[in-house]
Structure 1
Amino acid sequence: MTPDADDRACETPAANAHARTRACGRFTVVEVSGEIDLATAESLTEHLDAATARGEPDVLVDLRRVEFFDCSGLRVLCRAAARATERGGRLRLVSDQPRIHRLLMGAGLLGRFPPLPDVPGEGRE
């Protein structure tokens, strides 16, 4: 890949109705909102692909504003976590929603994605 192509792969995608990316200290925070399902998972994928494109990514996926999240969203998270790990980094979830915790537990992913209650270094508003 040429340096220009590398730079384009690492560009932060524009915010959309379901995801936006921001920097927070050493973390890349992907804030997710609304409903994530088969029809909208691609909106999240583009942000997670960009967040995990560089070496040693430290990505936090903030699910606190999610209204609905299904197995399509879980697939996107698992893929992004694998990409982050391959690049020497990590991907973690931020969620204070019991239904997200139940979804992770039911899918057998709670151990892989133990949710943080908030973004480290940010106080609750």
Structure 2
Amino acid sequence: MQLIPRHDPYLVVRSTGGLTVAALRGELDLVLVRHLRPELDALVRESDDLTVDIRRLTFCDATGLGLLAHCAGRMHRRGARWRLVCDQPWILRLIRLTELSDLLRPEHGTPYPPQPDALGPVVPLPAEPGVTRPVS
């Protein structure tokens, strides 16, 4: 995979052939959505196989979920392959509570093919206060 040169601390894109991996970092809220939407829209238009890795998000609100749902919906309508890589229980819970699981199809694991990570290691987040077991 080849790193696309850019200077964005919130998005790193790797692409080879038809496979594109977009790794997001930071707080996916209204401000970051406005910043990232043009780039993600371009990736959705141009990719036949798009993986969005959100394991490094530290926050995600309804606007962020809306952007992910928008991208996934466009990929599905085009018949292109969509993957969302997420291992954070709090985001997975939001996806489940908003009934976006069928659209977003979150997966655990690493984007394929695994590559050295330009964003640095994944730092596990502390558990939600007061939550002692996963909510199903």
Q: Tell me if both proteins adopt one fold, taking TM over 0.5 as the criterion.
A: yes
- Partners of 1:58 and 1:119 in 2: CA distance: 11
Deviations 1:84-113 (A, max 9, x none): 223221322101111111110111112222
TM-score under structure 1 length normalisation: 0.76
1:57 lines up with 2:83 in the alignment:
no
Residue 26 of structure 1 deviates from its aligned partner by 4.1
Cα contact 2:72–2:103 (8 A) shared by 1 = no
For residue 6 of structure 2, the aligned residue among 14, 20, 32 is: 14
Between the aligned residues of both structures, percent identity stands at 35
TM norm structure 2: 0.71
Q: Of 36, 40, 46, which residue of structure 1 is paired with 2:32?
A: 40
Structure 2 letter corresponding to 1:30: A
1:41–1:72 CA contact under 8 A, matched in 2: yes
Between 1:78-87 and 1:13-22, the stretch displaced more is: 13-22
Q: Distance in 1 between matches of 2:107 and 2:115?
A: 13
The answer to whether the 8 Å contact 1:15/1:21 transfers is no
Kindly state the Cα deviation for residue 82 of structure 1 after the two structures are TM-superposed: 2.1
CA distance in 2, matches of 1:77, 1:31: 12
* 1:58-73 pair list within 5 angstroms: 58-73=49-64
Residue range with higher mean Cα deviation, 19-28 or 106-115: 19-28
Gaps of 5+ in 2: 122-136
Offset of residue 63 of structure 1 = 0.3
Kindly provide the amino acid, as one letter, of the partner of residue 39 in structure 1.
V
